[in-house]
Amino acid sequence: MKKVILVMIGLISWPLLAQDAPADSVKRWAIGGNYSFTFNQVSLTNWSAGGKNSLAGTFLVNTYFNYKKEKVNWDNVIDLGYGLTKQGSDNAIKTEDKLNLASKFGYSAGRSWFYSALLDFKTQMDVGYNDPPENTKKLSEFMSPAYLNFSFGMDYKPSDQFSLYLSPLTSKTTIVLDDSLSAKGAFGVTEGENFREEFGASVKFTARKKDLIKNVDFTTRIDLFSNLDGIDNAKNVDVDWEMAFNMKINAHLTTILSFHALYDDDIAYVNEAGDAEGPRLQFKQLFGFGINYKFGK
């Protein structure tokens, strides 16, 4: 838990500190994002209908800090979330855990197109289990897995709110540093290995729209990757798609609705007995009401 808190404090502080840069520098930077916290609690005392006390909370951060000068664009994104729920005396159960970092450097090719290089990193911050609330069968932890993508391509960016990045040259590194997970060949690595390298093509689409309808902001991100090592591999496209609606109630209260869909042919579904089955579409939905702080455009 301490590791999670330190990571979150560091990444949350980074874009905020950037706002204190000298005035001449700030003119070239577009900095903004959303911080939100949703919380719910149930307390029961002598409740004849039964039930358990419960606590649940989710913290979400999505920030960007983009640099623009003449023909140069440098876009950076921090997207993280962490959530827990606890019922009675049971162990806490993780309900949200993501840490996504992306940095894209572009040089203008004219007409909203840029020659670009992209570095993209994804992992989680805490241990995930297959048998909550007992929490004895580990499925994941920090850097197990992690995904590091590096690519070159062309970026169509007509505005700061829209980007379509196309790369025919992409390297994808899957990292599983936990020895117990790598010994099982989890997340597609060879049994006993900590890294797996793939080379192929990728597409990254991002968009955000303020006031999609009145007081509703919309963001979405779609990442696609195809391993071009053989015809069979090329048919299996990895999909990572997130979509979120931030519905403003007043200056500080908001309702959040988000969806996250994943498909990776190298990730096997692990059933309750701990047996690995074939790959499946993964889907997560979050709905919450809480405090929101928004800054920037």
Q: What is the pLDDT of residues 89-102, one digit of tens each?
A: 899 999 999 999 99
pLDDT at 12 over 60: no
pLDDT of residue 270: 75
**Most distant CA atoms of the chain, gap in Å:** 70
Range of the domain at 86: 2-295
pLDDT of residue 113: 97
Q: Cβ neighbours of residue 174 under 8 Å, at least 6 residues apart?
A: 145, 146, 147, 187, 188, 189, 195, 196, 198, 266
pLDDT of residue 275: 72
DSSP letter for 188, please.
G
Instruction: Please count the structural domains in the chain.
Output: 1
- Min mean pLDDT across 62-71, 266-275, 284-293 is at 266-275
Structure tokens, 251: 């200056």
pLDDT of residue 5: 54
Structure tokens, 266: 């190298």
Which residue do the tokens 């203008």 mark? Answer: 108
pLDDT at 146 over 80: yes
pLDDT band at residue 293, thresholds of 50, 70 and 90?
confident
pTM of the entire structure? 0.88
What are the pLDDT digits (tens) for 180-225? 999 999 998 999 999 999 999 999 999 999 889 988 999 999 999 9
Report residue 76 CA to chain centroid gap: 14
Q: What is the mean pLDDT of the chain?
A: 87
The residue-averaged pLDDT of 115-143 equals: 93
d(CA 181, CA 127): 12
Whats the size of the chain, residue-wise?
297
- The three-state secondary structure class of 147 is strand
pLDDT of residue 44: 85
Q: What percent of the chain has pLDDT over 90?
A: 58
pLDDT of residue 160: 85
H or E stretch at 73: strand 72-87
Which residue would you say has higher pLDDT here, 39 or 251?
39
pLDDT at 234 over 90: no
Which residue would you say has higher pLDDT here, 280 or 8?
280
Q: Is residue 151 classed exposed, middle or buried when 0-12, 13-18 and 19+ CB atoms within 10 A define those classes? A: buried
What are the pLDDT digits (tens) for 45-88? 888 878 889 999 999 999 989 999 999 999 999 999 999 999 98
- The three-state secondary structure class of 12 is helix
pLDDT at 21 over 70: no
Beta strands in 92-137 (DSSP E): 93-110, 113-123, 128-129
Whichever domain contains 109, its CATH number is 2.40.230
pLDDT of residue 17: 55
